[in-house]
Structure 1
Amino acid sequence: MRNTRRALADFAEGPQSTDSPLYGAMTRAIMKSETLMRMVEKTPENQPVPLHLLAALQYLIGRTPEHALTGFYVEPEHRGSLDELQEAMEQFATSHQDEIELLLATRTVQTNETGRAGALVPGFCLIYERTRLPLATIEIGAAAGLLMGWPDFFYDYGNAGQLGSSSSLVKLQTEVRGPRTLPLPSDLPPYAERIGIDRSPLAVSDPDDADWLRALVWPEHPGRLERLNFAIETVANDPPYILQADAPDGLDSLLMQIDGATTRVIFHSIALYQSDRETWTRIDEVLLAASRSRPVFRLGLEFDAGQKGIDQPFLTLSVYERGGISKEVLAQVQYHGRWIEWLVG
């Protein structure tokens, strides 16, 4: 059972509050307000507090530019006091209560953060180095499939190297931290297929879906928003196939369809929290069964629930082979893909 007030306090006191001072202040305003607390309590159990409500507010602010709350978004240097912010939020939430509750009931936090591709790609490169077969990737929790466009992006890792076409609209800069060298080849690995699976996929061609994706970008992150818009444009030119299904139910058939002369790679990023333990156990069972014919690789960028005090996710490579599984932690990564620290080698 979620402790909503604890979740709010964790956000307000954590690195996210520094990363987005406005969201930190809005979270503190929610905690002071009975009206806003009643509203945030309507967040579904599998959705993050307070980001789900904050995304709903930002989505509606984009459609209500004349409201006083809008000024807190567009003029960060003139935000006023916490009491003024709380008052503006309460007024907006009260006047848009039905719309907010509808968004909380029908939308989910599907932050299709393309910056995370900068963390996933070194993992894809490592898998290809081991198998030397083109990658057939399946993304769990694909949302609009923006991360599935990873072969079309340009990657800049500073002194560690660059990958992809410099003419790409989507250019990712990922800082390499730590004492170990990030092992990069001279080019991106070849791929054979890009498939997604999501219980509620989004379509970049749908203006409402695209606006929801934009609402999930934090207010002080114009670079992320620009990159998102470029990714939407890039993926719209060649929309990926996304199967609408729960992952355990759809994975088996997708894996069976993949050509034998490829490497099967399942990947996901910041998706574990949206499903219960039983769902991920069933996914493991599907992958273990599929591995009896040939290996399946799984690349996950997720927070480690077993380590308290860890506020950034880890990139983990799991190899399913002959009905068994081995795991290796490859890197720690900033949750939006801003930096990577390689941990092996």
Structure 2
Amino acid sequence: MSAALEAVQDRLRRFADEASEVSPLYSHLAAHAADDDDVAGLLTDATSPDPALLLAAVQRVLQAEPFHELTNYYPALGGAYGPDASLWPMFRTFVLDRADRIRVLVASRVPRGNEVGRAALFYPAVAYAARQAGGGPVGLLEVSACAGLLLGMDLYSYRYQSEQSGQIVAGPGRAALGLHCALKSDPGQKGPTIPKRLLVSARIGLDADPVDLDDEDEYAWLEACVWPDQPDRLRQLGAAATARRKKPPTMVTGDMVTDLAAAAGRIPLELPVVVLTSDALRPHSAERVTAFRSAVAELAAARPAYWVSLEAYSAGLISDRPELDTGQAILACTGWVAGEERTTPLAQTSWHGERMYWLT
């Protein structure tokens, strides 16, 4: 067995463990694929052998065969079956019979994530940054924006459910997309200030390869990257894409470090810039993350700017709060005072936006 295949199988096993609580379907398939040289071997053609890439490629091919029996196990494609003894043999046969098409996708694509549910986390955090900037309208600049769906956060409606305050409603009343988020804070501690409206006057998305939602193939790949036993995420994607077409952001193709200032230059100078990152730092080296932080600091030295981040604790934005290193996402706001970077952890959250534990 080659070292490359062994590495792929190890990643599949780890993926199966990580997905076990959130996606029984993908956990089941990844665990079996890890023990199957033929299926796992398809990932050795990838630039980065991410198990999610293989599974997305299979789902993309399955999208074109809506009457295949395998769709019965894919809720996003209308199925209702849970993983059982018939699933893996059927999946394996489907994959190997279409190995050439799947191999092309694995070699030419990367997993794309535009998790719209995270807008429920960013909404109060951007409102926090806007208050720091004086309370007026802001310009949003999302880095690694994919299709830029988070840039429409002011167009969505929200319902935050908390024990202390009951239900908090925000956003326009007749929004194309409504998001729900469970909100928790310590007893006696005030939760986030959530305004009825968020004032966004400019929206710029910066990505090395932005997704064109008007391209049917690109949109289908974005759908294929949504885990199929989480159909609510697929529904949210479709609703957000509809809202985005009403107020489309400006999408800029460029590098997160060297092109950050130019992208920010598209936002009128009278608007404070709120830079957004959503699990954007994880793929990059420590040196690359440091370079990005320096680029944002340079932007903040030139004009009012804040950085609202939803990143892993390991990204290093916060290093003195080891109790927050739990595997959850950390929602934070970074500002600069006299050139000194100051990051305030706002909340611990789920990665898809369902829950938020407010800290500040």
The TM-score with structure 1 as length reference comes to: 0.90
Which residue of structure 2 lines up, in the alignment, with residue 35 of structure 1?
A: 38
Structure 1 residue 62: deviation in Å?
A: 0.6
Determine if the alignment matches structure 1 residue 77 to structure 2 residue 113.
no
Identical-residue share of aligned pairs (%): 26
Q: 1:162 pairs with 169, 174, 188, which one?
A: 169
Structure 1 residue 68: deviation in Å?
A: 4.1
Count of matched residue pairs: 339
User: SS at 2:110's partner residue?
Assistant: coil
Q: 1:176 to 1:32 in 2, by over 3 A?
A: same
Instruction: Tell me if structure 1 keeps the 8 A contact 2:127–2:195.
Output: no
For 1:264-283, what aligned pairs fall within 5 Å after superposition? 264-283=273-292
For 1:1-345, what aligned pairs fall within 5 Å after superposition? 3-14=7-18, 16-45=19-48, 49-73=50-74, 74-77=78-81, 79-81=83-85, 84-132=86-134, 133-158=136-161, 159=166, 161-179=168-186, 180-305=189-314, 310-344=326-360
Alpha-carbon separation, structure 2, partners of 1:97 and 1:72? 20
Q: Deviations over 1:211-265 (max 9, x none)?
A: 1121122222222211211111111233211101111121111223433322111
Alpha-carbon separation, structure 2, partners of 1:6 and 1:329? 34
User: SS at 1:187's partner residue?
Assistant: coil
Q: Deviations over 1:87-141 (max 9, x none)?
A: 2232222222232222223322221111000001111111111222321110011
Alpha-carbon separation, structure 1, partners of 2:167 and 2:131? 17
Instruction: Tell me if structure 2 keeps the 8 A contact 1:197–1:243.
Output: yes
Q: Which amino acid aligns with 1:170?
A: L
Q: 1:103 to 1:320 in 2, by over 3 A?
A: farther
Alpha-carbon separation, structure 2, partners of 1:182 and 1:39? 48
Instruction: Tell me if structure 2 keeps the 8 A contact 1:125–1:189.
Output: yes
Q: 1:134 to 1:75 in 2, by over 3 A?
A: closer
Q: Deviations over 1:45-94 (max 9, x none)?
A: 3x7x321111111111111234443332254436431xx43322322222
User: SS at 1:248's partner residue?
Assistant: coil
Structure 1 residue 23: deviation in Å?
A: 0.7
Q: 1:182 to 1:107 in 2, by over 3 A?
A: farther
Bigger shift: residues 50-59 or 71-80:
71-80
Alpha-carbon separation, structure 2, partners of 1:105 and 1:313? 30
Instruction: Tell me if structure 2 keeps the 8 A contact 1:203–1:209.
Output: yes
The TM-score with structure 2 as length reference comes to: 0.87
Bigger shift: residues 166-175 or 244-253:
244-253
Q: Which amino acid aligns with 1:343?
A: L
Which consecutive residues of structure 1, in runs of 5 or more, have no partner in the other structure?
A: none
Alpha-carbon separation, structure 2, partners of 1:80 and 1:310? 32
Q: Which amino acid aligns with 1:161?
A: I
Alpha-carbon separation, structure 2, partners of 1:55 and 1:125? 35
Alpha-carbon separation, structure 2, partners of 1:17 and 1:42? 26
Segments of 4+ moved more than 6 angstroms: 306-309
Which consecutive residues of structure 2, in runs of 5 or more, have no partner in the other structure?
A: 317-321
Structure 1 residue 322: deviation in Å?
A: 4.1
Q: Deviations over 1:295-323 (max 9, x none)?
A: 42111111222779733211121113443
Q: 1:313 to 1:186 in 2, by over 3 A?
A: closer
User: SS at 2:258's partner residue?
Assistant: helix
Instruction: Tell me if structure 2 keeps the 8 A contact 1:295–1:320.
Output: no
Bigger shift: residues 21-30 or 90-99:
90-99
User: SS at 2:34's partner residue?
Assistant: helix
User: SS at 1:208's partner residue?
Assistant: helix
Bigger shift: residues 276-285 or 237-246:
276-285
Alpha-carbon separation, structure 1, partners of 2:9 and 2:36? 12
Q: 1:261 to 1:223 in 2, by over 3 A?
A: same
Instruction: Tell me if structure 2 keeps the 8 A contact 1:294–1:321.
Output: no
Q: Which amino acid aligns with 2:193?
A: L
